[in-house]
Amino acid sequence: MNDKKIFKLLQEWFPVLELREIPKKKYRPIFQQFLAWMSAEKLGKHSQAYLMSVDSENPHENGLEQCAILQLMNSDIRLAQQQIRNRTIPLCEHYAKHKQVIGKYYNVNTQVFDIVLEEIYELLKSKKLELIIIYAE
């Protein structure tokens, strides 16, 4: 599948993107151009995004609140975020308490990241969604 077909497919999935001009061929392979094209929109007090950015250093910043599709489906995003916190905060507290024993080579954020993705996946599965695009810098 060529890159233009990907942009056209995204326009079919997200009708608001039909209003945006597909970038010229030389710019389509540049990820920053793609991010700009898919950028979030401000609607009232809320932002809507078609890509969710997960901060690897702070996985609780995972973009769920801005996810346009979940907003349109009236998903209980706060509940999902609370479930993520309920699972990750004890893990982080345990690591902080026992960091000397566990060692500096253990990356607790990796495990937290897995939990975040697992909870997002469960939320999407409950809505019968089949594809989500998540990126991390």
| Rounded-to-integer distance, Cα 51 and Cα 85, Å | 21
Which tens digit of pLDDT belongs to each residue from 28-87?
988 888 888 887 676 666 667 777 777 767 777 787 887 878 888 888 888 999 999 999
pLDDT of residue 84: 92
**Cβ burial, residue 77 (10 Å; 0-12/13-18/19+):** middle
Which tens digit of pLDDT belongs to each residue from 99-135?
888 877 788 888 888 898 898 888 888 888 876 666 6
- Give this prediction's pTM: 0.72
- The closest alpha carbon to 77, from 126, 37, 31, 16, belongs to 126
Nearest-10 crossing angle of helices 77-97, 108-126 = 160
| Rounded-to-integer distance, Cα 132 and Cα 70, Å | 11
Residue boundaries of the structural domains of the chain:
1-39, 49-135
